[in-house]
Amino acid sequence: MKKRALVTSLVALSMLSATGAAFAEKGGNNGPEIANEANWDAAPAPANFDAEKKAKNDKEKNNAEGITTDANPIVVLDPGHGGSDPGAVGNGLREADLTLDIANRTKSYMSANYGFTPYQTRTSDTYVSLDARASYANSKGANFFTSMHINSYSTSTPNGLEVYYYPGSTTGLNLATAVYNKLKASYSTLRGIKTAEFYVLKYTNMPAILGETGFITNPTDASKLGTTTFRQSLATQYAQGMHVYWWGF
């Protein structure tokens, strides 16, 4: 019996290791949380990924051809999940719906108030693959990329804000810091600015971040996310943070 139990345990550990490569496991102030954000090895790199350009742009703010810091930077907003992939679900909400609404509001605010040229990886409830998201941003020659997500956990306790950038990216850290410093006004629990090897952070040629604005599985966070007023606040803060990153104020 002990031998059979040992074999069963080894098989279970092997399965966890196999699935763990594709998704990111994150830790924070309220204990570990696991969000279904795909890691770099979840799919092949897009054909237009340029590792040299990525390395260069991770060290210095990139300017698309003909773009200066005084002109309109190209920004790609990435509403997480969509279509057949609803993302995290909890408290009567779907992550895909929330991220799309926040991105739409962010784009509208940026267009109305700032000199950005914003694009989105999706503008409706449709499925967009990981490589298509990164490829789209690369094809636009974006100056930077912001992916929008909502966190989740197996219990209702974890809550609050996290923003991620790719390990070693100086410009990614600068972008994450600027956006985080604006978004944190909406949260009492601040889980920090962190690094992760998410697919959309690694395979975009430009500085990139991924925001986890609250937990859909936490009743307090979810009740806020369910209101248009709160989502508009997040959209405004996202836009303001990106403005600070690019123009410094």
Q: pLDDT, tens digit, for every residue of 40-76?
A: 999 999 999 999 999 999 998 776 554 455 578 999 9
**pLDDT tens profile 136-154:** 999 999 999 999 999 999 9
**What's the pLDDT band for 20 if we cut at 50, 70, 90?**
very low
In a domain, 39, yes or no: no
| Residue 94 lies in domain | 52-57+71-247
Q: What is the mean pLDDT of residues 73-85?
A: 97
In a domain, 18, yes or no: no
In a domain, 9, yes or no: no
Hey, what's the torsion of the CAs at 139, 79, 25, 59, to 10 degrees? 40
In a domain, 1, yes or no: no
Model confidence at 236: pLDDT above 90: yes
Q: What percent of the chain has pLDDT over 90?
A: 80
Beginning with the edge strand found earlier in the chain, give each strand of the sheet holding 117-120 in spatial order.
117-120, 74-79, 144-151, 208-215, 161-165, 190-195
70 and 77 Cβ atoms separated by less than 8 Å: no
Catalytic machinery residues = 212
For the ranges 29-43, 120-134, 156-170, the lowest mean pLDDT is seen at: 29-43
Q: What is the model's pLDDT at position 4? A: 39
Model confidence at 124: pLDDT above 60: yes
In a domain, 13, yes or no: no
Q: What is the mean pLDDT of residues 99-111?
A: 98
In a domain, 16, yes or no: no
The Cα–Cα gap between 176 and 161 comes to 12
In a domain, 47, yes or no: no
In a domain, 218, yes or no: yes
Within 10 angstroms of residue 208's Cβ, the number of other Cβ atoms is 31
Q: 133: domain CATH number?
A: 3.40.630.40
Q: How many domains does the chain have?
A: 1
**pLDDT tens profile 24-37:** 434 444 444 445 68
Tell me which of 7 and 220 has the higher pLDDT: 220
Q: What is the model's pLDDT at position 30? A: 45
Calculate the average pLDDT of the chain.
87
Q: What is the model's pLDDT at position 6? A: 36
